[in-house]
Chains A and B, each alone.
Chain A
Amino acid sequence: MSPRPEPSATRRSVLASGAGVAVAGAAAGLTYAGRPSSAAAHQSSSGTDATGGTGRAADEPVPFRGEHQAGIVTPAQDRMHFVALDVVTTDPAELSLLLKEWTRAAERMTYGAEATPGGVVGGGPHRPPTDTGEALDLPPSNLTITIGYGPSLFDGRFGLAGRRPEALRELPGFTGDDLDPARTGGDLCIQACADDPQVAVHAVRNLIRIGFGVISVRWSQLGFGRTSSTSTSQATPRNLFGFKDGTANIKAEDGAALAEHVWVDPADVPGDAAWMAGGSYLVARRIRMHVEVWDRTPLQEQEDIFGRDKAVGASLHLPADRRDENAPLDFAAKGVDGQPRIPLTSHVRLAHESQLDGIRILRRGYNFTDGSDGSGHLDAGLFFLAFVRDAHRQFVPMQQALAKSDKLNEYIEHTGSALFAVPPGLGDGEDWGVQLFGA
């Protein structure tokens, strides 16, 4: 006869009340602007920054609760695992319960804890472990878990049609799109970012595991290296074309720009859509890059296509001895041939706010390679992620301009696409289920 452990189902159903989780206390009065400064404090207390520029020690968790979800203005971590999911149940109660269970597991894993207490071995020899175990003993690694909801979730299956924010509607098609249905759309998404890829994959895997019977994986993307900086504390990384991308990104420290371009204002979401106030919209685009063709392109042409120099990422109008990545772009400057020094079809010009009525976005993308394509080439590219206040007013006009004229289009193809509403952060005691469905 053996003693009886708590059944795992019971353990799992003892959901986080969330009451007074330590960081939540700190986060209660925390605005997003408070985060980078606290991150900076961690950095100074730990002495060195060993985390690829996220400015936070590996064993110091990123706060899970707060005004906005983590994983947006959190200094971009080095690795990402992103998954889009379909809901397979027809029962709203099951979905709501799953969102509650996810909240608890996500908060635990953000701390570096097992998805469930004692989940790796605590269930004894005859039960399948309730945590898969590959992140046991690893530090939190700046893990953030960010949830989002696709337009299809609000189609009436779950009684959510009335709660759909007006801006959450499918993206239009763009010239040159080659979207694979198997990499497009989804009822839900989970973005897990961490400085250790094992930690990010563990988080996604365990959330999927908890969801069997309620959700099913639609598509999934690994990103091995960040392509954006979301804090002034970070250097601008390079994409697989070798260029610094997103120098002009919105940064965590720029509160006015975030309020204008990233966070959904209460006035944007009146009535039953008010749950989205303080949230953001996430645009995901899987952009295949034909790196082999690019690599045969002369340097001058590469630089003209981007509109920046390759070595430091400076505007092309600057002379070689005065190149500075952060110097303003001078679109009026002309070369000796009388043509604009930053070409009219260059990526940086077409995507710049001055050409787009002031539109800006917060980029948070990742480089990927998904093996090879069977034709002797890498299946590589950029998993573009952007957070915006309204995708139809920001991403859509920007992408229309790029799709029409960007010289880069000769070397890239958009092969996947999705739009998600990313709800605001959770306060003490709140969970994603109650937040989405209402109390």
Chain B
Amino acid sequence: MTRRALALTLVPATFALAACGGGSDATSSAGTKGPITVTASDTACDVARTEAPAGQIEFTVSNKGSKVNEFYVYAAGDRIMGEVENIAPGLTRTFHVEVAEPGTYETACKPGMVGKGIRSDFTVTGASAAPQSDDAKVTAATTSYARYVASQADALLARTTEFVGLVKAGKVEQAKALYPVARSYWERIEPVAESFGDLDPKIDGREDVVEDGMAFTGYHRLEQDLWVKGLQGDSAAIADQLLADVTTIVAEAKKVEFNGLQLANGSKALLDEMATGKITGEEERYSHTDLWDFAANWDGSKGAIAALRPVLEERDAALVASYDKRAAALDALVAKHQKGDGYQLYTELTPIEVRALSDALDAVAEDVAKVAGVVANP
């Protein structure tokens, strides 16, 4: 159960940008060749031509003012298409910006580097110069991830069935041993499972759900029974309900169709879970098996990134290289805490060990946070 709703929201795989709707006429003239001269001062920003055909556009920006200047080409919402910064007084800088879609854009000089800048409209004409994006790779990624989710969901059902059987048979020690194992499959696909709003708190809610007027059921109720209170009169009924709910959610999860952004956002959501719920030791407050969840969230995040890997390698190899390095560092740290077939208890970790895990997580999360932008902008 998350404190914040991390459920995957349906984000359209393609998104329309206002600037793309321009419908401007392509008026080719002799004056549209060569670099566009921009004369910037502390109070003015003269752009020699305010129209160019789609594709690569070259600007030559001269700073005639007394302040450091910057030059931007913006799409709607001040999204930066290209910029050149740190143009000192007296200097001239040339830069290229790739604008693939015709439409209305804005140019801006920013004397002194602050504020909205001195803006003008800029029109990009002609036909789209966008390369045909390789959607097939994204589709393959989503298909691959759906297979991963299905395999984890099947294992979740199998292990939960086994766990419920042990609880109902009163085999406390065996149930305790299986508990973190069964939950690992849940944690690997948590963002998917959580997208089924009503079922998530019933399956994965902590005792605090009572505050919201709900009954305390699911894994954590059985965790409390097994580790703290001993099996209760209704433990068997709780176990039956857990199995019924998990059966439902597994069937639903296997039907989900994903898009590329959902994979990206899901891989990040799992890291957010680790940072806010697992590294703090609050998820498994009775069993202290938080590191199992931590490792499983991490596995799930890696699963989504692995599916997207061909897309990312094609579009941002530097990001992949950084991710690989940081992922390996986190892998090595997690491995240090393996114990038998599982992991050390959270209560066995020193503050220094917790901080090391947190540092490595912060590092890899910065890279994973960039994946959605890469997927959305081929």
Which residues of A approach B to under 8 Å, CB–CB? 1-9, 11, 14, 16-22, 25, 88, 108, 111-113, 117-118, 121-128, 209, 212-214, 216
Contact = CB atoms under 8 A, between A and B. Distances in A.
6 contacts: A5-B80, A122-B83, A124-B75, A126-B376, A128-B369, A213-B362
Contacts of A209: 366
Contact of B359 (A7, A14, A216): A216
Given A22-B88, A212-B362, A4 B373 contact: no
Interface in B358-378: 358-360, 362-366, 369-370, 372-378
Contact of B100 (A3, A18, A112, A122): A3
A105 to B, nearest CB: 12
A121 B19 CA distance: 16
Given A3-B75, A3-B99, A126 B372 contact: yes
Interface stretch (B64-72, B164-172, B211-219): B64-72
A21 B88 contact: yes
B366 A213 contact: yes
Given A111-B113, A126-B373, A20 B89 contact: yes
A338 B4 CA distance: 70
Nearest to A215: B359
Interface residues of B, number: 60
- The residue in B14, B82, B365, B373 that gathers the most chain A C-beta atoms within 10 A of its C-beta is B373
A22 B14 CA distance: 43
A212 B322 CA distance: 12
Contacts of A16: 85-86
B79 A124 contact: yes
Contacts of A213: 322, 326, 362-364, 366
Interface string B63-105: 0001110101011011111110110111100000011110000
Contacts of B306: none
A22 B67 contact: yes
- The residue in A11, A21, A25, A213 that gathers the most chain B C-beta atoms within 10 A of its C-beta is A213
A2 B316 contact: no
Interface in B271-305: none
A117 B370 contact: no
Given A19-B91, A113-B114, A216-B355, A121 B85 contact: no
From DSSP, what is the main secondary structure of chain A's interface residues?
A: loop
Given A1-B101, A8-B370, 19 more contacts: A3-B75, A3-B81, A5-B81, A6-B81, A9-B316, A11-B80, A19-B86, A20-B90, A21-B68, A22-B66, A25-B88, A118-B74, A121-B78, A122-B74, A124-B376, A125-B79, A125-B376, A126-B372, A128-B373
Contacts of A11: 80, 83
A117 B72 contact: yes
Nearest to A120: B78
Given A2-B17, A4-B100, A213-B363, A127 B370 contact: yes
Nearest to A17: B86
Interface in B230-282: 261
B10 interface: no
Contacts of A113: 113-114
Contacts of B114: 111-113
Contacts of A128: 369-370, 373
B130 interface: yes
A25 B90 CA distance: 12
Contacts of A21: 68, 86, 88
Those 4 A-B pairs whose CB atoms lie nearest each other, nearest first = A20-B88, A213-B363, A127-B373, A122-B80
B305 to A, nearest CB: 16
A22 B111 CA distance: 11
Contacts of A122: 72, 74, 78-80, 83
B310 interface: no
B44 interface: no
Nearest to A104: B86
B319 interface: yes
B350 interface: no
A117 B85 contact: yes
Contacts of A17: 86
A142 B16 CA distance: 42
A3 B20 contact: yes
A4 B377 contact: yes
Contacts of B19: 3
- The residue in B15, B66, B114, B319 that gathers the most chain A C-beta atoms within 10 A of its C-beta is B114
B43 interface: no
A142 to B, nearest CB: 15
Contacts of B20: 1-3
Interface in B339-360: 355, 358-360
B113 A108 contact: yes
B247 to A, nearest CB: 35
B372 A117 contact: no
Contacts of A212: 362-363, 365-366
Contacts of B261: 126
Contact of A6 (B83, B318, B362): B83
Given A22-B66, A213-B366, A2 B83 contact: no
B326 A7 contact: no
Contacts of B362: 212-213, 216
A18 B14 contact: no
A7 B367 CA distance: 13
Contacts of B16: 2
B29 interface: no
B377 A5 contact: yes
B59 to A, nearest CB: 14
B77 A121 contact: yes
- The residue in A1, A3, A118 that gathers the most chain B C-beta atoms within 10 A of its C-beta is A3
B112 interface: yes
Contacts of A14: 85
A439 B303 CA distance: 42
Contact of B80 (A6, A25, A112, A125): A6
A9 B359 contact: no
A59 B83 CA distance: 24
